Amino acid sequence: MDQRQGAWSASAKHKEFAETVSQAVQSSGDLYRLGLGMIASENIVSPAVRNIVSSDLHGRYAEGLPGKRYYQGCDDFDTIEALGIDLAQQVFGANFANIQSTSGTVSNIGALKALAKPGDAITAVSTADGGHISHARMGAVGLRDLNLTTYPWNEDRMEPDIDAACKTIREVEPKVALFGQSVFLFPTPLEEMAAAAKEVGASVMYDGAHVLGLIAGGQFQDPLREGADLMTGSSHKTFPGPQGGFLLSSSEDETFQRRLNNAMFPGVCSSYHLHHVAGKVMALAEFMEYGEAYARDTVSNAQAFAEALASEGFDVLAESRGYTASHQVLTRHGELDSGAGARAAKRLEEAGIITNMNMLPGDTKAMTPSGLRLGVQELTRVGFTNDDMQDVARFYARVLLQEEDTNHVRKDVQALKSERQTIRYCFNEEGHSGYPV
Q: Does residue 266 have a cis bond before it (omega within 30 degrees)?
A: yes
For ligand PLP, which is the closer residue by CB, 209 or 348?
209
CB of 71 to ligand PLP, least distance (A): 26
For ligand PLP, which is the closer residue by CB, 144 or 410?
144
CB of 178 to ligand PLP, least distance (A): 10
Q: Which residue type sits at 370? A: S
Total residue count of the chain as it appears in this document: 437
CB of 75 to ligand PLP, least distance (A): 29
Residues 6+ away with beta carbon under 8 Å from 27: none
For ligand PLP, which is the closer residue by CB, 207 or 229?
207
For ligand PLP, which is the closer residue by CB, 182 or 301?
182
CB of 160 to ligand PLP, least distance (A): 14
Q: Which residue type sits at 202? A: A
CB of 398 to ligand PLP, least distance (A): 29
d(CA 178, CA 123): 6
Whether the CB-CB separation of 133 and 109 falls below 8 Å is answered with: no
The alpha carbon of residue 182 and the mean position of all alpha carbons in its chain are separated, in whole angstroms, by 8
What are the helix (H) ranges across 67-216?
Answer: 75-92, 104-115, 140-143, 162-172, 190-199, 212-216
- Number of C-beta neighbours around residue 190 at 10 A: 24
d(CA 223, CA 250): 9
Residues in contact with ligand PLP by the rule CB under 6 A: 41, 103-105, 108, 132, 134, 180-182, 207, 209-210, 234, 245
d(CA 271, CA 20): 29
For ligand PLP, which is the closer residue by CB, 182 or 298?
182
Closest residue by beta carbon to ligand PLP:
104
CB of 152 to ligand PLP, least distance (A): 19
For ligand PLP, which is the closer residue by CB, 268 or 393?
268
